[in-house]
Structures are given as structure tokens and as C-alpha cells.
Amino acid sequence: AAAAMKEAEEAAERMEEDSDMFSSMEFALFGDDRSEGSFEPNMPKTTLGMVVTDTEIESIIPGGPAFLARLQSSDKIVEINHQSVHSYNDVQRHLCSSDVPGEKVKLLIERRNHDHSASSFEAELVRFPVAKMRRVSKIFRILTIIADKEKTNMEDLTEVMRGVEEILLRDYSIIAQFHLTRQNIRSLKEKISIARKCLLEETDCNLKELSSFNLRDTNTRLERIEADEEALDEISLYFTSIMAKNNMSQREELSNLLDVATQAHHMFDLKTMILRDEIKKIETTRQIEQEQEKNQNCLLLP
């Protein structure tokens, strides 16, 4: 049992190493623009690709999250993640509460129409790494220059623009999944560590010595084993969730980990069954002893 949990831990370590390699893939997708400028440690690592004055969007960075969400300058931000905003301080507080690449931000937008009427709609933006935003912006600037030089209307480049947008959306998804995977790996390692500790402390005992335990201690041990089994259930859910969302290169590792968890389940089932049998034996023995003692007392009565 301890060996099975150790194998699961080692597999989780390999998954984390794969995630570090995946981080390098992320840089390859967008181009490593870190050399173009350095950021202070307290500077934001992500951007939504828009400039906001008060609660109004002043400008949109081409190719950024706001651009892909079809937001426009002069749009007014009414809510951020279902929280009302009334000033720039509100906007800053809600937008700066997190700085995780790939995280989704939901906005409620109010837009003035040409007839001066107003309409509201929801938009979902994905936080994008600041260092990669330069690369994205360059792509759209180049397209604009090409259109101007060839005296071509930008509408003629719609298909090209759409293709670039699809690539960006795909890459946003990759980055979001990368960070989600790392979070799941951390949680998974914690669960495995807890389950392994429980195995070593509570279930790695000599079952032949159970007869020396009193009934209460045996029941307590059984309850702890069942609690460990619940922990393994949670681990299996993590495996299933990650396998459903991750790319093919990670599924073999995840499948192996799931096999380890399944084997651990079988071990728990076996030990639980043995413990229950031992409890029945203890209860039966105790009942027989009580009956014998009762009969003996009856014989001793004058």
C-alpha cells in the first residue's frame, strides 16, 4: 500500500515536470518578448487589453482580450464578476484582485447606440500575459500597415483577421488549461500525501494483532480506513477531471495514476472486509464470554 502511494507521488512529480516543459511551449507560441522590457515585481503580470477612464473604456488594444470580446471604446463597465462598479477605484479594485494568466473575467457592459439609446450585454474576457500582449499587438499592426500600403479596406482582410483570432483564442485556452493543470497537480499531491500518511499510520498494521484490540479501538480503526477511502474517492475525481480536460501527452501519466488509485481502492476494500470480519469475531466471542459468565453466576447462586 505504501509502495502504491509512493508510486503515485512520483507520477505527480513527473506531471509537474511536464507542466514546466509546457510553460516553455507557451513562450514558443507567443514569442518570448521579455527582452523588450522589464517589469517591477509588483507590476501586473496580466492584461485585459483595454484602457479604462472612470468606468468607461477609453481604448482597445488590437488583438487583446477586450478586442476578441468585441468591446469598443466608449463602452461603459457596469459590473465586474457580478459586482457593481461606480468609479475607477471600483474598477481597479475588482480587476486587480487577481492576476492569474488564463483566468476569466465577466463584465456587464452598457453601450450607447447611434440613436442614443443604450443596450447592455455580458462579455467574458481572459487575462493575458502582459509580455505576450506586445506580440499580439504587433500582428494586428502589421495587418493594418499591409492594408494601408495596398490601399485595401480592412474589411477585405476579415478572413485573415478571423484566422488570427482563432489562433489567439486557442492559445488563450492553452494558457488557461496550463495554469489549471498546475493547480490540480498541487491539490492532487496534497491528497496523495494525506492518503499515504493515513495508510502508513492506520492501515499498515498486523491484522493478526487485532484480537488484542478492544471493540472500540477496532471500530475507530475501521472508521479511519473508511475516511481514507473517501480521500481516495476525491483523488479519483481529480484524475477524471484532469483527464477530461488535458491534452493527449498527459493522459498516459494520468491514466497510470488512476490505476494506482484503483488498486488502492481494492486494497481498502480488502482490509475493510477483514476488519469487519474481525469485529464480528470479537463481538461473537464477547457474547459467548458474557453468556458463560452469566451461566456461571447462576450456578454460584445459593
Residues 199-236: tens digit of each pLDDT: 555 444 433 343 444 445 545 555 554 455 555 555 55
Is the dihedral angle over the CA atoms 8, 9, 14, 17 positive or is it negative? positive
Can you list the alpha helix ranges (DSSP code H) found in the chain? 2-30, 65-68, 88-95, 130-149, 158-198, 215-245, 248-300
Q: Give pLDDT, residue 33.
A: 37
Greater pLDDT, 131 or 266: 131
Per-residue exposure over 138-175, b if at least 16 CB sit within 10 Å of its own CB, e if not: ebbeebeeebeeeeeeeeebeeebeebeeebeebbeeb
Kindly report, residue by residue over 73-114, the tens digit of the pLDDT: 999 999 999 999 999 889 988 888 888 877 889 999 999 887
Q: Give pLDDT, residue 224.
A: 53
Mean pLDDT, rounded, for 238-245: 52
Q: What percent of the chain has pLDDT over 70?
A: 33
* Mean pLDDT of the residues in the chain: 63
Are 265 and 229 spatial neighbours (Cβ–Cβ below 8 Å)?
Answer: yes
Q: Give pLDDT, residue 126.
A: 84
Q: Is the pLDDT of residue 297 over 50?
A: yes
Classified by CATH at the fold level, domain 41-173 comes out as Pdz3 Domain (2.30.42)
Q: Give pLDDT, residue 214.
A: 46
DSSP assignment of 259-270: HHHHHHHHHHHH
Residue whose C-alpha cell is 483564442: 169
Q: Report how far residue 46's alpha carbon sits from residue 102's, in angstroms, rounded to the nearest whole number.
A: 9
CA 153 to chain centroid:
43
Q: Give pLDDT, residue 128.
A: 82
Residue 155 DSSP symbol: G
Mean pLDDT, rounded, for 132-146: 61
CA 280 to chain centroid:
43
Neighbours of 17 (CB within 10 A): 9
Greater pLDDT, 137 or 71: 71
Contacts of 284 by beta carbon, 8 Å cutoff, 6+ apart? none
Q: Where are the domains of the chain?
A: 2-19+176-297, 41-173
Q: Determine the 3-state secondary structure of 83 from DSSP.
A: strand
Q: Report how far residue 107's alpha carbon sits from residue 84's, in angstroms, rounded to the nearest whole number.
A: 10
Q: What is the dihedral of CA 36, 40, 43, 47, to 10 degrees?
A: 10
Q: Give pLDDT, residue 38.
A: 40
User: Which set of grid coordinates corresponds to residue 249?
Assistant: 501527452
Kindly report, residue by residue over 9-20, the tens digit of the pLDDT: 554 454 444 443
CA proximity to 62, closest of 109, 70, 96, 76: 70
Partners of 52 in the β-ladder? 57
Q: Give pLDDT, residue 206.
A: 39
Mean pLDDT, rounded, for 148-153: 53
- Most confident region among 60-64, 137-141, 257-261 by mean pLDDT: 60-64
Are 143 and 160 spatial neighbours (Cβ–Cβ below 8 Å)?
Answer: yes
Is the dihedral angle over the CA atoms 177, 179, 182, 186 positive or is it negative? negative
